[in-house]
C-alpha cells in the first residue's frame, strides 16, 4: 500500500511524515527525486536550479514526471515493506502515475490542511532558503502550487487532517489518522 501525503507548504506534512517514520514506515520525499536529478545533471540545488530541473523533467517525461522518478525507489521499498508513504505529491498527474503503477485500491491520499496565515508564520520560522520572506512571496508561491494542481489532489483525499490548532493537538490528530490508516492493512 502507498500513502500519498499532500498539502500546501507549511501545512504540517513533515510532522505527519515523522509520525509514520516513528512507526517504522518508510517515507519517500518527492522533493528528493528532484534534488537527486539535479545532482545527476550537475545542476546546483538552489531554488533556481531545482526549478530548472523540475521544468526539464516535466518537459521530458510529462506532467507526472516527479512521480515517474520516484516510483523505482517506492517499488524497491515495497519489496520488504507493506506500506510506503510518499511525501509531497502536488499534482493529479502524479496521483495518476502512482495509481497506474500501484492500483487505486493500493493508494491512499492523505491531505494536511492549514489556514494560510498559520502556514505563512510557520514557513517564516522554518527559514529554509526557498521559504517566502514576505506575505506577497507566500501568496505567489501558493498560486504556483495551485497551478500544479495541488488543490485537486487535496480535494481527492481519502483522509484529511486539519492543522489549525496547537502543536500538541495536531500531534493527537496525526496519531489518530495514522492509527486508522495502519489498522486497514
Known binding residues for ATP: 7-14
The CB density around residue 9, as the number of other CB atoms within 10 Å, is 22
> What b/e readout covers 18-46, taking b as 16+ CB neighbours within 10 angstroms?
ebbeeeebbbbbbebbbebbbeeeebeee
Binding residues: 7-14
Q: Name 8's Cβ contacts closer than 8 Å, sequence gap at least 6.
A: 113, 114, 116, 119, 142, 145, 150, 154
Amino acid at each position: 500500500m502507498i500513502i500519498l501525503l499532500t498539502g500546501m507548504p507549511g501545512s504540517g506534512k513533515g510532522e505527519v511524515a515523522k509520525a509514520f517514520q516513528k512507526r517504522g514506515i518508510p517515507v519517500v520525499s518527492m522533493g528528493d527525486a528532484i534534488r537527486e536529478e539535479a545532482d545527476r545533471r550537475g545542476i546546483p540545488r538552489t531554488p533556481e536550479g531545482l526549478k530548472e530541473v523540475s521544468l526539464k523533467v516535466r518537459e521530458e517525461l510529462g506532467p507526472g514526471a516527479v512521480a515517474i522518478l520516484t516510483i523505482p525507489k517506492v517499488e524497491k521499498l515495497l519489496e520488504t515493506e507493506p506500506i510506503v508513504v510518499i511525501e509531497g505529491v502536488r499534482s493529479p498527474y502524479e496521483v495518476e502515475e502512482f495509481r497506474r503503477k500501484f492500483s487505486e485500491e493500493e493508494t491512499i491520499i492523505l491531505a494536511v490542511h492549514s489556514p494560510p496565515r498559520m502556514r505563512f508564520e510557520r514557513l517564516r520560522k522554518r527559514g529554509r532558503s526557498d521559504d517566502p520572506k514576505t506575505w506577497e512571496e507566500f501568496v505567489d508561491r501558493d498560486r504556483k502550487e495551485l497551478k500544479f494542481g495541488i488543490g485537486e489532489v487535496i480535494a481527492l483525499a481519502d483522509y484529511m487532517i486539519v492543522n489549525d490548532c496547537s502543536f500538541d493537538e495536531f500531534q493527537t490528530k496525526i496519531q489518530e489518522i495514522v492509527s486508522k490508516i495502519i489498522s486497514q492493512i
